[in-house]
Amino acid sequence: MSVLQLSSAEATWRTGRHPRVVEWLRDVHEQGALVCSACSGVLLIAETGLLSGREATIHPAYARTFRESFPDVRLRLEETLVATGERGELVMAGASASWHDLVLYLVARHVGPTAAQALAKFLLLQWHTDGQAPYVPFAAPTDHGDAIVLEAQDWLQKNYSVAAPVTELVERSRLPERTFKRRFVNATHYSPIAYVQHVRVEEAKRRLERTSEPVDEISYAVGYEDPASFRRLFKRITGVTPGAYRRKLQLPAFARVAREDVGVTRVR
């Protein structure tokens, strides 16, 4: 097993810097080794060519540079762990803390599920069964060079809750509707309505994390009068319900203390 990581401070990957390591990975794979990565380490595995035409996962912060460097690999950011290859011998864990999932997976695979469960209980580890989707921030490209689309994106960041945002965008662009939509998709890789939905859900995530507003009020605040429709959309994009997201991401009560009040905190 080889677990390789790249410093998270470096967001751009340049291929060809570690030829001896890449060649070594190819060699041990050919000899039958299980090759594993956590976080950005999959970038080195991808350089071997072993992932060509296969699926992979990675820390979302490296998604863009991964896609630019290895366009023939299908990136599954919503997955916490991906095992691929003819023998399931290429195993990748996503964001940094998903190394827990990698360890538990390897224990379950090589020792057994009972041992994995015992280890999880002993070390207070939890499987990220909801995947990475709840944690992946919406980050559409803005360096596409289309000034009209960029202006539309900027406008949406502040006006996402208007009643008919796509109609507003088309009118503001002064382009024919089909032309605007085509340019928007080419620049951002999202249709205008899908982009609006992601922006609204991202704002809803922020409110769920930082406020105690009821979900119905958040739904209305981000542009949805029907809370049921909002809940369905939220789960489709994040993989969890708004309530589950709040429980997952909001600070627990024992962590909500003023800086000057920080002393000894006991958690039971």
Q: Please write the tens of the pLDDT for every residue from 161-201.
A: 999 999 999 999 999 999 999 999 999 999 999 999 999 99
Q: For residue range 96-113, what is the model confidence (pLDDT) as tens digits?
A: 889 999 999 999 999 999
Of 200, 185, 187, the closest CA to residue 238 belongs to: 200
Q: How far apart are CA 79 and CA 116, in angstroms?
A: 20
Domains of the chain in start order, with CATH, are 19-135 (3.40.50.880), 147-249 (1.10.10.60)
Token pair in block for residue 111: 């020792």
CA pair distance 36, 116, nearest whole angstrom: 18
The pLDDT of residue 10 = 47
* Contact indicator for 54, 73 with CB cutoff of 8 Å: yes
DSSP 8-class letter at 222? T
Average pLDDT, the chain: 90
Q: Residue 84 in contact with residue 65, Cβ under 8 Å? A: no
Say yes or no to pLDDT of 2 above 50: no
Confirm if 56 and 84 have CB atoms less than 8 A apart: yes
Q: How far apart, in whole angstroms, are the C-alpha atoms of residue 99 and residue 252?
A: 23
Query: Does residue 1 carry a pLDDT above 60?
Result: no
pLDDT at residue 6, rounded to an integer: 44
User: Residue 261 is encoded by which pair of tokens?
Assistant: 């009040």
Q: Match 């996402």 to its residue by tokens.
A: 160
- Contact between 171 and 124 (Cβ < 8 Å): no
Can you name the residues that pair with 227 across neighbouring β-strands?
none
The Cα-based distances of 48 to 60, 161, 236 in angstroms read 21, 46, 34
The whole-number pLDDT of residue 66 equals 95
Query: Which are the contacts of 188, defined by CB distance < 8 A and separation ≥ 6?
Result: 140, 141, 144, 149, 153, 195
Secondary structure (3-state) at 241 = coil
Tokens of 245: 């997201």
- Residue at token pair 């809750």: 161
